[in-house]
Amino acid sequence: MNLDGKKVLVTGATGFIGSHLVEKLVQSGANVRAFAHYNSRNDLGLLEIIDPEVRSSVDVVYGDLKDGDGVRRAVKGCGVVFHLGALVAIPYSYRSPNDFVQTNVNGTANVLNAALEYGVERFVHTSTSETYGTAQYQPIDEAHPLVGQSPYSASKISADKLAESYFLSFDLPVSTIRPFNTYGPRQSARAVIPTIIAQALKSNELQLGSTTPKRDFNFIDDTVAGFVAVATNDRAIGEVINIGSGRTVSIADVVQQVGEIVSRPLEVHTDGSRVRPEKSEVGLLLADIGKAQRLLGWSPQVSLRDGLERTVEWIGNHQARYKASEYNV
């Protein structure tokens, strides 16, 4: 499928990955509609800071994933749907699990129902590597068991299975992309890499949770390229596909590399409020990306060091957006 000239809906368009995907789609010639969570300030989130020329070409629709009528209006007329909209803050899911069920499960059902009603040509559903829990073997391929190790991951497993059922039951052309830990410019301090960088630019002392977990960090440009590859390749229909770097690094190692980039030795202090509940902490994530390589011809292009340097530069130029001393749940 060629996205040039296609009417495309992106839910979660005002977020980190969504805003980068909107940019890429517009640059690819797609006619993009962005579904933004309603607010009385007309706040477009991270779409506020993308290229103004790109933003001016985007059709913004405000609503709420939990409102089926609003979702239907957003989907109507679109041939392709990228469903990224979700609550994603894992620590917050411990506090308000029902909010995650309402948004991530019921909200996904609303988007799927609208896509089925209007006969979309392709539906790209966004999963997460958190659905695997701590690795039972590595690297993690798409056949790995799904584990609800946090309320967030449980809600995403439910959403993934809903998407699968709409393919199997109704022949909706669904593809599920399962990104591992994406990072890069614009990401909020809710995530660990921006938290490290924002603090490192201010001080040599960092307040963090656990530094022993190992993650598969993939730069935002590579993740977005994965979304486009999934949407445009018919071999992805009905499939779940990992998108990651295929390498793993501990949080402690990320701290060391950031310290080298900012030319400052960094000292980590453990902040108990930032530590996940023991049984919910995911110890290791490492993507097996062979399926994406075979089916899509996709491979990551940006090294961790290059990606960290680009992220440090961006956050350094936008420090007013980050409250380094505060913990973002």
User: DSSP characters for 20-83?
Assistant: HHHHHHHHTT-EEEEEEE--TT---GGGGGS-HHHHHT-EEEEE-TT-HHHHHHHHTT-SEEEE
Report residue 104 as tokens: 């991530």
Tell me which residue of 19, 20, 32, 113 sits closest to 66, measured CA to CA: 113
CB 32 within 8 A of CB 22: yes
Report residue 202 as tokens: 């201010």
Q: How far apart are CA 172 and CA 259, in angstroms?
A: 47
CB 291 within 8 A of CB 242: yes
Q: Output the CA torsion 16→50→12→307 (10° steps).
A: -20
CB 7 within 8 A of CB 79: yes
CB 24 within 8 A of CB 229: no
Q: How far apart are CA 318 and CA 295, in angstroms?
A: 38
Catalytic residue ranges: 152
Tokens 């110890």 -> residue: 283
Q: How far apart are CA 134 and CA 282, in angstroms?
A: 5
Cα 154 from chain centroid (whole Å): 16
Q: Which helix (H) or strand (E) element contains residue 253?
A: helix 251-261
